[in-house]
Structure 1
Amino acid sequence: MKGIAHFISGVTVASFCPWAVETAQNGNPAYFILGAVAGILPDTVDFKFYRFFYSHDIQIEPHPDQLDPQPVADAVAKAVLLAAEGRRTTLKLATIKMDADNWRQYRVRIDPEAGEVRVQFGPIVSTGQVPQPDSLPEPRSVGVAKFNAPILQSCETTYTVDIFDGPSFAFQRNEAGEVDVDFLPWHRNWSHSLTVGLALAGMASIWTWKAGVVIAGAYMVHVIEDQMGHMGSNILFPFTKKRLPGFKMMHSGDAFPNFVGVWFCCLLIFWNIYMAVENPLYHFGFIRLMMYAMVIPFAVFGVLHQLLVRIDGSEPETQTTEWNI
């Protein structure tokens, strides 16, 4: 899920702790802040720190004025072949920055059935990933590189490289002789572990056990939320070395699940604070709150969405980027 969803999830965990609500009522929101920080901490560690220290065996940096897809395809296929020979190989696909707010987009497809890598450069897009008109390169050639190795991919087969920092991969031969394609190997590894969350909670408990409970709950909720996606997490590091595959119920960048999650958390926070008020002006139950504020509005939205899809005739495509797994 997106950062805002993890952030509000951590606040929600804190709202379930009576001492957090009581302390906030007395003017000290420390436990709510602690929950928010712990809720977003795993991604903060990965994206703001750890990825900058992760090394790559092969780094691909296409030149903005020399859009030849073949060297890119050859480099990816080389990484696959090195892994098939028994050497774990890490690879980085750099983005192509055109100017302050524009990037050249390209796509890399690792096709296990065809045994080939296909690369093609696309349009220039803004930082908001909006394609610029008449920006497709001419000629728009396709780079193709063959490899003779069985591939096992836990995520998608096509990767879009456009804005900010490009994606990373780790290729490694497993016990079955297949080459595992590990997407963003520096992400959701040791930082997204229940054991790490418990360790942090244990250290915080030296100060007060109440802080430890908030940190443990917020951290674990983050890991559980991420497990709903495709990539999964290394849940029991250091006892496990690899990420447990996700349940593939959603992509982290999907707007609707993120919005529903954030809205549901807001309702839970409201309810927990409401329950702490001694003499509220208006009385209602939890079921009534959920029906009026969650079930009915989203049911209406679902019906309208289906009607619009039928009129339009197609579902919008989800673009897979390094931030959307």
Structure 2
Amino acid sequence: MKGISHFISGVAAASFCPWAVEAAQNGNSAFFILGAVAGILPDTIDFKFYRFFYHHDVSIYPHPDKLDPQPVADAVAAAVTEAAVSGKPVRLKLATIKMGADNWRQYRVKIDPDAGEVRVQFGPVVSTGQSPQYGTLPVNRPVAVAKFSVPIRQSYEPVYTVDIFDGPSFLFQRSEGGKVEIDFLPWHRNWSHSFTVAALLAGLASLWTWQAGVVAFGAYALHIIEDQTGHMGSNLFFPFSKKRTPGLKWMYSGDAFPNFGCVWLCCLLIFWNLYAAIPNPLYHFSFIRLMLYAMVIPFAVFGVVRWLLVRADKGHPETLSTEWNV
């Protein structure tokens, strides 16, 4: 999930602790702040610190003016083969193509285990919001194909879109069975996304007070649990486990609807926990009524409207013009 979702989830976790609510009523929001910090801390560790220390053996930088996808496909296929032949891990990075202050050339890479090939195709220029700018598609959009002859196993989706900010990283490593395992973003959701680190953080927070330890562990652990609803999963019990436990694949981390739903639900839970602690509230309503009128009905209406808009947009010529062949 996005950072804002984890941030507000940490606050919601803290709101379930009576001492945190009582302190907030007395003007002390320290427990809520601690929950917010602990909730976003795993991703902060990865994206703000750990990834800058991660070493890449191969870095691919497509030329912004020479849109030839073949060198990209060849380099990825060569990394797969090298990992299989040498038995050593190969760390590869696909760089983004910056076209201006707020513009990026999008391209896609597909690693197909069934066909034994890597397919690469360039796409439109997109903004930082990942909105395509129509009319920026290359005139000729060849699909580059590079073959490899070793079996692979992927822990993520076979198609990767590269566009804004920093490009994705991959770890190619031969397993005991002879297959090359492909880990997407190997520096992410590893040791930082483990319950053991959550316990260590709780221990540090407990030096202040045991209540702080409970809040820190709950918020940190909730981040890990939320990430397990996605595709990548996390290394839940590092250092006792060496690999990430696959996610439930209910959503992608960047999906707007689940992230908005998470943020909205957390806001409602925070509101309810604060309301329930008021001795004599001015208005009386039940938790079920709150969820019905503030969550279920609005989201049902939104879902229907969204479905109708998506259905009406199918077949639009501008939508068809950005189709991919990888």
TM-score bracket for this pair, using the shorter chain length: over 0.9
Give the TM-score of the pair, scaled to structure 2: 0.93
Cα shift at 1:209: 0.6
> Residue type matched to 1:95 in 2?
T
User: Identity across aligned pairs (percent)?
Assistant: 74
Q: Name the structure 2 match of 1:165.
A: 166
Q: Matches of 2:50 and 2:35 in 1, distance apart?
A: 22
Q: Name the structure 2 match of 1:5.
A: 5
Q: Matches of 1:103 and 1:303 in 2, distance apart?
A: 33
Deviations 1:248-300 (A, max 9, x none): 01111111111111111111101110011111101111112112211222233
- Unaligned runs of 5+ residues in structure 2 are none
Q: Matches of 1:255 and 1:139 in 2, distance apart?
A: 32
Alignment of 1:182-201 (within 5 A): 182-201=183-202
Q: Name the structure 1 match of 2:130.
A: 129
Q: Matches of 2:78 and 2:91 in 1, distance apart?
A: 11
Alignment of 1:31-110 (within 5 A): 31-85=31-85, 86-110=87-111
Q: What RMSD in Å do the two structures reach over aligned CA positions? A: 1.8
C-alpha spacing 1:126/1:188, structure 2 compared with 1 (3 Å): same
Cα shift at 1:120: 1.4
> Residue type matched to 2:55 in 1?
S
C-alpha spacing 1:101/1:305, structure 2 compared with 1 (3 Å): closer
> Residue type matched to 2:186 in 1?
P
C-alpha spacing 1:299/1:25, structure 2 compared with 1 (3 Å): same
Q: Matches of 1:293 and 1:189 in 2, distance apart?
A: 36
Q: Matches of 1:180 and 1:223 in 2, distance apart?
A: 23
Q: Name the structure 1 match of 2:28.
A: 28
**Which deviates the most, 6-15 or 303-312?**
303-312
Give the TM-score of the pair, scaled to structure 1: 0.93
> Residue type matched to 2:136 in 1?
S
Q: Secondary structure at the match of 2:254?
A: coil
Q: Matches of 1:306 and 1:138 in 2, distance apart?
A: 32
Q: Name the structure 2 match of 1:255.
A: 256
- Unaligned runs of 5+ residues in structure 1 are 320-325
C-alpha spacing 1:64/1:312, structure 2 compared with 1 (3 Å): closer
Q: Name the structure 2 match of 1:212.
A: 213
